[in-house]
Amino acid sequence: MNHSPTPSTALSIAVIDTETGGFEPASDPLLQVAVILATVDDGGSVEIDQEWASYVRLSPPWKPYGAQHIHGIRRRSLIAAPSEKRVITTVCDLIRGRTVIAHNIAFDMSFLTAAATRHGRTLEPAGTACTLEMSRATDPARTMSHRLGDISERFNIALTGAHDALNDARATLEVLHHLIRTGSALLPADYASE
């Protein structure tokens, strides 16, 4: 990934990832959130401004909190974590006014929106984009898998510790960078002209 100075035309992005205790935003807990703030210039160079990640406190009464064998998150990490209100307040502040990008963004945004609503907050991104959709658009016949791990492997992107929110967000940013370089993702000027 190129880390070069940001010219006057740049897209401010927030790459996000969540780990959750299920698939239902209204009833399943948000367990971990990561946000990477970056800028993308018209040449496709990416400059990382900030990385942030947090577990979300798991409060009693205890109930099953997802596929532990997949996300590997232990209860002790959740008991000592910040409250959901504190986490979602930080997320709202970080992503405000930025284009939010995720791999399967509908899933991540549904959990963040539900958490924000529970605490009287609103998410205010400038827009959203999905690397899953971008990747699928390069393969209309669907001859390949577009899971984050499989795309990362195809692009020779190191994805260590998959299903950790920060590691997945880092891989998503690398995938975005690759898609920009190959012309499969929009550049800042394209967003401005939409």
Structure confidence by residue, pLDDT tens digits, 99-135: 999 999 999 999 999 999 999 999 999 999 999 999 9
Q: In what order do the strands lie in the sheet with 99-102?
A: 46-55, 30-41, 10-20, 99-102, 127-130
- Residue in the structure block whose two tokens are 């907050």: 121
Q: Which domain holds residue 67?
A: 10-184
Residue-wise pLDDT for 73-103, tens only, equals 777 788 889 999 999 999 999 999 999 999 9
Say how many domains are in the chain. 1
1 found inside a domain: no
Confidence category of residue 6, pLDDT binned at 50, 70, 90: very low
189 found inside a domain: no
110 found inside a domain: yes
Look at residue 180 in the predicted model and tell me its pLDDT. 87
Residue whose C-alpha is closest to residue 37's, from 113, 107, 125, 130: 125
Look at residue 108 in the predicted model and tell me its pLDDT. 97
Burial of 24 (0-12, 13-18, 19+ CB in 10 A): exposed
Look at residue 62 in the predicted model and tell me its pLDDT. 57
Please state, in angstroms and rounded to a whole number, the distance separating the CA atoms of residues 182 and 160.
24
User: How many C-beta atoms surround the C-beta of residue 39 within 10 A?
Assistant: 18
- Mean pLDDT of all residues belonging to the chain: 86
The percent of residues above 70 in pLDDT, for the chain, comes to 84
Look at residue 39 in the predicted model and tell me its pLDDT. 94
The CATH number linked to 60 is: 3.30.420.10
User: How many C-beta atoms surround the C-beta of residue 2 within 10 A?
Assistant: 11
Q: What are phi and psi of 131, to 5 degrees?
A: -70, -25
2 found inside a domain: no
Confidence category of residue 58, pLDDT binned at 50, 70, 90: confident
Look at residue 2 in the predicted model and tell me its pLDDT. 52
Look at residue 8 in the predicted model and tell me its pLDDT. 53
Higher pLDDT, 184 or 138: 138
The conformation of residue 119, written as its DSSP 8-state character, comes to T
106 found inside a domain: yes
Q: What pTM was estimated for this model as a whole?
A: 0.87
Is the pLDDT at 33 greater than 60? The verdict is yes
Q: Tell me the chain's radius of gyration from C-alpha atoms.
A: 17
35 found inside a domain: yes
